[in-house]
Amino acid sequence: MQNLIKIQNHNYLTINVLFILLPVAFILGNFYTNLNIVLISLYTLFFYWKKKKYFKFNFFDKIITLFFIYTICVLLINFIEAKISSKVFSQFIINKSFFYLRYYFLYVSLRLLINNNVIKFNWFFLSCTFFSIFVCVDIYIQYFFGKDIFGIKPVMLNAYHAKLGGPFGEELIAGGYIQRFFLFAFLLPTFLNLKKKFFIISIHLILVLIFTYGIILSGNRMPFVLFVFSIFMFAMFDKNLKKYLIHFILISVFVLTFLYNKNEKFRVRFESFYGSVNNLTSIFITKSSPLKSGAYVQEVYGFLKTWPKNKFFGGGVKSYRINCVQLNKDIPFKIMPTCNNHPHNYYFEILVDLGLFGFLIILILYFSVLHKLFFKKYIFNSHDGSNIHLLTFFLLFIVELFPIRSSGSFFSTNNAAFIFVILAVLISLIDKYDEEEKKKKSI
């Protein structure tokens, strides 16, 4: 019996260590993220799969399962079409489609673990808090001393303009990392069991300042917009911060106005962002080629030229670049769309790679979650400690899948891992609240 308890404790510790290392893996790179995913999935299979009898698929689980089955169906449809037409089908798309299934195993593993109360959420929250602050501090060091603690120097875009990648080096995604993980730091007052509003507000204010300047120095514009939006939403829903919402809005307007007037780099980036929005609007209205626009705008133009060729089923996972080049190769070079690895928007990429049917599955999932949380009012009705966890993951879900944001690839390692981790936790918390509702009705 004692040996069995030791083994169970060892398994419990191991799976939680793997889970809290996810934020670290995102910093270290795709290899470590994939290794973490595989280890979590295998460890769950070997040591916790026998507990599956206590776990039942709900509506959301079925939609996500359908989504992954559909990605394989799209692969088969395109493969058969290529063979019928005597065309060579890309081995790259085949590999990416099958390897993408690892996120389904990650999702199911986390659902099973959370359902059996194996995951220690507080450990994960503290890990996210620590490493999001660490990235900010590393960026500060890089800004003031010319290199970060690892000796990495800023990326010089030109003689006058540099971006700070911090521990990510030349991959300029530090702002996006901070924006994704900073909300967990707002749970610190809960960890510390603070009751006085003065201390709660003070901690939140200090954290906002740390993360705000970290994202600004990173030079990432969309993460900054989403960061401000996340704080606004958090303050609006959280009962302790709601009364201070107007103060937050006024302070935000003052800070942004000050930066715009006093910081030339911030002003240039803001005006560039505004110009990109105008160019995007023009593209959708006039369908004209954005010859003088930035790369991102041209990539969206590439989506508009590529998607109509396979509207309903798409070309398969990660097929955008291949199909964009093939379908637009006859267009004169000067007006040919920029065919990057993805069109820098999740929904555009899903439309191109999985077509309207894949897009519809994602919309059903998205609005089903919104319906559940808003109409059931789970994020409004309860004000206990667990409610703030639901609020945090709900906001992460909303922001990550925000329709009009620019983004990386929906199918890339870090993005896909983050999306399905958030979904697994959020849906598990919804399950918990459903059970609580049933118990209340039965009393």
pLDDT of residue 382: 47
Q: How many CB atoms lie within 10 A of CB 213?
A: 15
Residue 133 lies in a domain: yes
Residue 222 lies in a domain: yes
Q: How many CB atoms lie within 10 A of CB 250?
A: 10
Residue 34 lies in a domain: no
Residue 180 lies in a domain: yes
Among candidate residues 30, 79, 86, 37, the one with its CA nearest the CA of residue 319: 79
Q: How far apart, in Å, are the Cα atoms of 266 and each of 117, 122, 272?
A: 45, 36, 10
106-120: pLDDT as tens digits: 999 999 999 888 999
pLDDT of residue 250: 67
Alpha carbon of residue 94 to chain centroid: 24
**With a threshold of 0.85, does the pTM exceed it?**
yes
pLDDT of residue 241: 64
Cα–Cα distance between 258 and 409 in angstroms, integer? 34
Alpha carbon of residue 191 to chain centroid: 24
Contact 322, 93 (CB under 8 A): yes
The secondary structure of the chain, three-state, reads CHHHHHHHHHHHHHHHHHHHCHHHHHHHCHHHHHHHHHHHHHHHHHHCHHHHHHCCCCHHHHHHHHHHHHHHHHHHHHHHHHHHCCCCCCHHHHHHHHHCCHHHHHHHHHHHHHHCCCCCHHHHHHHHHHHHHHHHHHHHHHHHHCCCCCCCCCEECCCCCEECCHHHCCCCCHHHHHHHHHHHHHHHHHHCCCCCHHHHHHHHHHHHHHHHHHHHHHCCHHHHHHHHHHHHHHHHHCCCCHHHHHHHHHHHHHHHHHHHHHCHHHHHHHHHHHHHHHHHHHHHHHCCCCCCCCHHHHHHHHHHHHHHHHCCCCCCCCCHHHHHHHHCCCCCHHHCCCCCCCCCCHHHHHHHHHHHHHHHHHHHHHHHHHHHHHHCCHHHHCCCHHHHHHHHHHHHHHHHCCCCCCCCCCCCHHHHHHHHHHHHHHHHHHHHHHHHHHHHHHC
Residues of the chain with pLDDT under 70: 1-8, 53-54, 156-162, 239-256, 258-298, 327-338, 375-386, 442-443
Q: How far apart, in Å, are the Cα atoms of 105 and each of 12, 159, 291?
A: 19, 46, 43
pLDDT of residue 286: 52
Residue 420 lies in a domain: no
Q: What range defines the domain where residue 156 resides?
A: 121-244
- Number of domains present in the structure of the chain: 1
pLDDT of residue 272: 58
The amino acid occupying position 9 is N
pLDDT of residue 36: 95
Residue 162 lies in a domain: yes
Residue 10 lies in a domain: no
Contact 33, 412 (CB under 8 A): no
What φ, ψ does residue 163 adopt, rounded to 5°? -120, 145
Residue 225 lies in a domain: yes
